[in-house]
């Protein structure tokens, strides 16, 4: 018998909802979850957190509006269980209790502020279920968020072997380094150096250089892959499990960093809320591939949101 659940992932840049039907546990580990509804809103909850250490009132209000809409969706579809997880921005903020109180009032559940390790493990679970047979283990799964990037190494059967979270998300790197429109060569070089130090630490800790397949998660990765594929509209079905080369990622990254925000907005697959931070997200992906020696990346539309849903089984 299936179980209808609702998962909410509230990150630094976006808040996402998945209402899904989980298979009966007796169906086995390969049985998929079935989407009922997937939604995403760019709310930029982590606006300025890297600099101020606090969640901005207007960012909390944007998140409240999105969350109220999600609460109505959850009620409409009759989810039996609900889990909301908050990630990097709410780990860092001094006024995180204001955010938690808003969530309790709006959604009626307590948000769980994940540790970096918990975030990484949920991302891995969501990503590796259903990978194609030609995706050879062990896997290095990277989830490039707004405030942080999670690195996880493991196998489909054995699960997570090691995980670490690093503060090199696309919003954080943009706010810290990429101030020009487009950013200057010096700004890009400073961002790349910052990212490289964190990536090297992460790849040693997990250890990522021993992995056979790189799996990339979240909007920065899927947007880069959509551009590399030449899509004229964002098509999750074509992006999910698509494999693109390092050379393609490097070409897309250089092009994005050379464009103005207005030029990036004109790219057919670009979400308007991602246009100002996609250059940094692409740079994080490119540096990871370079430092890990990965010739290609497999994109996954299934990530921490799916992992949160699976945790309710």
Quote the CA–CA distance of 252 and 246 in Å, as a whole number.
10
> Residue 115, SS3?
coil
Same domain, 161 and 275: yes
- DSSP code at position 159: E
- pLDDT digit string (tens) for 127-156? 888 788 888 999 999 999 888 898 999 987
pLDDT at 244 over 90: yes
Within the chain, how many helices (H) and strands (E) appear?
13, 11
Asked if 138 and 282 sit in the same domain, the reply is yes
- Region 253-267: mean pLDDT is 96
Residue 310 lies in a domain: no
- With respect to residue 225, please indicate whether it lies within any of the assigned structural domains: yes
Number of structural domains in the chain: 2
The dihedral built from the CA positions of residue 292, 152, 48 and 198, taken in this order, carries a sign that is negative
Residue 272 covered by a domain:
yes
188 and 257, same structural domain? yes
Same-domain pairing of 171 and 252? yes
What's the chain's average pLDDT?
91
| Structural domain span for residue 93 | 3-113
Domain boundary among 86, 113, 140: 113
What's the pLDDT score for residue 275?
Answer: 94
Give the closest residue to 151 by CA, choosing from 185, 117, 184: 117
197 has a pLDDT exceeding 90: yes
Q: What is the mean pLDDT of residues 192-212?
A: 95
- What does the chain come to in residues? 313
pLDDT tens digits along 80-121: 999 999 876 676 688 888 999 999 999 999 999 887 778 778
From 44, 77, 62, 65, select the one nearest 107 (Cα to Cα): 65
Is the Cα torsion angle 27, 30, 36, 39 positive or negative in sign?
positive
Tokens read off for 129: 């279920």
Query: What residue spans of 49-184 are helical by DSSP H?
Result: 49-52, 57-77, 88-92, 96-107, 116-128, 170-176
Asked if residue 294 and residue 263 are part of one domain, the reply reads: yes
Please indicate, yes or no, if residue 258 is contained in any of the structural domains: yes
Query: Which CATH number goes with the domain that contains 58?
Result: 3.30.420.40
**3-class DSSP assignment, residue 222:** helix
Residues 7 and 65 in one domain: yes
Answer yes or no: do 57 and 9 share one domain. yes
Its pTM stands at 0.81
- The winner for highest mean pLDDT among 41-45, 86-90, 250-254 is 250-254
Q: Do residues 267 and 299 both lie within one domain?
A: yes
**Of 51, 82, 113, at which residue does a domain stop?**
113
Helix 278-292 to helix 185-205 angle, to the nearest 10 degrees?
Answer: 50
Instruction: Look at residue 115 in the predicted model and tell me its pLDDT.
Output: 79
């Amino acid at each position: 018998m299936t179980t209808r659940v609702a998962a909410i992932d509230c990150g630094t840049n976006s808040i996402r909802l998945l209402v899904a039907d989980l298979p009966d546990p007796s169906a086995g580990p390969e049985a998929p979850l079935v989407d009922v509804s997937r939604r995403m809103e760019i709310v930029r909850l982590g606006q300025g957190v890297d600099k101020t250490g606090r969640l901005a009132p207007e960012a909390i209000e944007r998140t409240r509006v999105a969350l109220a809409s999600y609460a109505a969706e959850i009620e409409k579809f009759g989810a039996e269980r609900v889990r909301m997880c908050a990630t990097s921005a709410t780990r860092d903020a001094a006024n995180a209790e204001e955010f938690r109180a808003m969530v309790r009032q709006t959604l009626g559940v307590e948000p769980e502020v994940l540790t970096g390790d918990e975030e990484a493990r949920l991302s891995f679970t969501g990503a590796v279920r259903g990978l194609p047979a030609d995706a050879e283990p062990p896997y290095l799964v990277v989830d490039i968020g707004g405030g942080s990037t999670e690195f996880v190494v493991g196998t489909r059967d054995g699960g997570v072997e090691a995980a670490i979270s690093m503060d090199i998300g696309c919003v954080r790197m943009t706010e810290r380094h990429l101030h020009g429109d487009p950013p200057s060569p010096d700004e890009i070089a400073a961002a790349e150096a910052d990212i490289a130090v964190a990536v090297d630490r992460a790849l040693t800790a997990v250890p990522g250089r021993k992995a056979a397949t790189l799996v990339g998660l979240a909007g920065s990765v899927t947007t880069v892959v959509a551009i590399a594929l030449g899509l004229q509209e964002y098509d999750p079905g074509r992006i999910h499990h698509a494999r693109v080369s390092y050379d393609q990622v490097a070409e897309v990254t250089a092009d994005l960093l050379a464009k103005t925000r207005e030029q990036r907005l004109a790219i057919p697959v670009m979400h308007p809320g991602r246009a100002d931070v996609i250059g940094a997200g692409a740079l994080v992906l490119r540096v990871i591939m370079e430092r890990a020696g990965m010739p290609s990346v497999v994109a996954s539309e299934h990530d921490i949101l799916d992992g949160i849903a699976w945790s309710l089984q």
